């Protein structure tokens, strides 16, 4: 397995534009986590899913952010409209529910200008 | 709402053991102690976890005190590639994974 795959690796967009980040889970995994990392705030959990169902989205900063799992192996994180303060590295991670190890993707570095 | 306390930074000479402490005085009976690390600009990587017994794998050893209020991650022979931020996390296995600020370990030649 190629591991958790995130795309794109880098994204530069203008303020106000819609941004979609993508994540492909490891085959067979049924838990999915989205994180955001900045120097100021560290690694923050945005939302996590178990079996395609959002369990806790309390970390989603505001209504401009939305996340979905259209199927068991894929997830999107959408920001609409984007703002400069959304600039960060976004990570997704997958695991098997009840298992111990979460596997992280390489991240998407988002820059909003 | 991280439940752990770690020193912000530590240094270690290459080839020596790196001992990274973590305090988790409010840990619950069903919570495990996990360790992850993040090498610069990469995604975090799982290292090891334990409930109450000491654990060892190919990467590290985890020593948990008898009262479970603290633990130590041991890298027996640190290399320059072990330079990273190390996160200690307590959680129930099926719960969310919350990262604190971690310990920045610098291994020097």
Rounded CA-CA distance B38/B17 in Å is: 19
**Cα dihedral across residues B4, B76, B30, A96: positive or negative:** positive
Asked if pLDDT for residue B2 goes beyond 70, the answer is no
Task: Kindly state the tokens that stand for B70.
Answer: 């603290």
Minimum distance, in Å, between the CA of residue B108 and any CA atom of chain A: 24
Burial of A71 (0-12, 13-18, 19+ CB in 10 A): exposed
The nearest alpha carbon in chain A to B33 belongs to: A100
Which residues in chain A are closer than 8 Å to B96, comparing Cβ atoms?
33, 45, 48, 55-56
Instruction: Give Cα A57 to chain centroid, integer Å.
Output: 12
pLDDT of residue B97: 86
Instruction: Give Cα A50 to chain centroid, integer Å.
Output: 14
Region B62-72: mean pLDDT is: 96
CB contact under 8 A, A101 and B44: no
Note whether A71 and A25 are within 8 A (CB): no
The more confident residue out of A50 and B19 is B19
Spatial strand order in the sheet of B70-75 = B18-23, B70-75, B61-64, B55-56
Q: What are A1-13's pLDDT values in tens digits?
A: 679 999 999 999 9
The nearest alpha carbon in chain B to A51 belongs to: B94
* Residue to substitute from B97, B101, B102, B103, interface A, most A β-carbons within 10 A: B97
CB contact under 8 A, B46 and A107: no
| Banded pLDDT at B95 (limits 50, 70, 90) | confident
**Cα dihedral across residues B58, B63, B68, B69: positive or negative:** negative
A to B CB pairs, distance under 8 Å: 51
Q: What are B11-28's pLDDT values in tens digits?
A: 999 999 999 999 999 999
Of the candidates B49, B94, B97, the beta carbon closest to that of A33 is on B97
Which of A110, A79, A91 has the alpha carbon at shortest distance from A10? A110
Region A7-27: mean pLDDT is: 97
């Amino acid at each position: 397995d190629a591991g958790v795959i995130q795309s794109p690796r880098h994204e530069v967009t203008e303020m106000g534009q819609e941004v979609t980040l993508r994540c492909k889970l490891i085959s067979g995994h049924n838990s999915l986590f989205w994180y955001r990392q900045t120097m100021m705030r560290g690694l923050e959990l945005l939302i996590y899913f178990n079996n395609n169902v959002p369990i806790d989205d309390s970390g989603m900063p505001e209504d401009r952010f939305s996340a979905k799992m259209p199927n068991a192996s894929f997830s999107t994180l959408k920001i609409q409209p984007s703002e400069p303060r959304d600039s960060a590295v976004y990570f997704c991670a997958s695991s098997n529910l009840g298992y111990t190890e979460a596997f992280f993707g390489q991240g998407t570095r988002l820059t909003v200008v | 709402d991280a439940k752990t306390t770690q020193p912000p930074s530590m240094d270690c000479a290459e080839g020596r053991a790196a001992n990274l402490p973590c305090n988790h005085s409010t840990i619950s009976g069903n919570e495990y102690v996990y360790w992850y690390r993040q090498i610069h600009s990469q995604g975090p990587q799982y290292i090891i976890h334990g409930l109450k017994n000491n654990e060892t794998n190919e990467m590290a050893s985890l020593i948990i005190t008898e009262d479970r209020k603290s633990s130590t991650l041991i890298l027996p022979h640190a290399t320059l590639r072990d330079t990273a931020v190390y996160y200690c996390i307590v959680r129930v296995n099926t719960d969310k994974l919350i990262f604190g600020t971690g310990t920045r370990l610098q291994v020097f030649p």
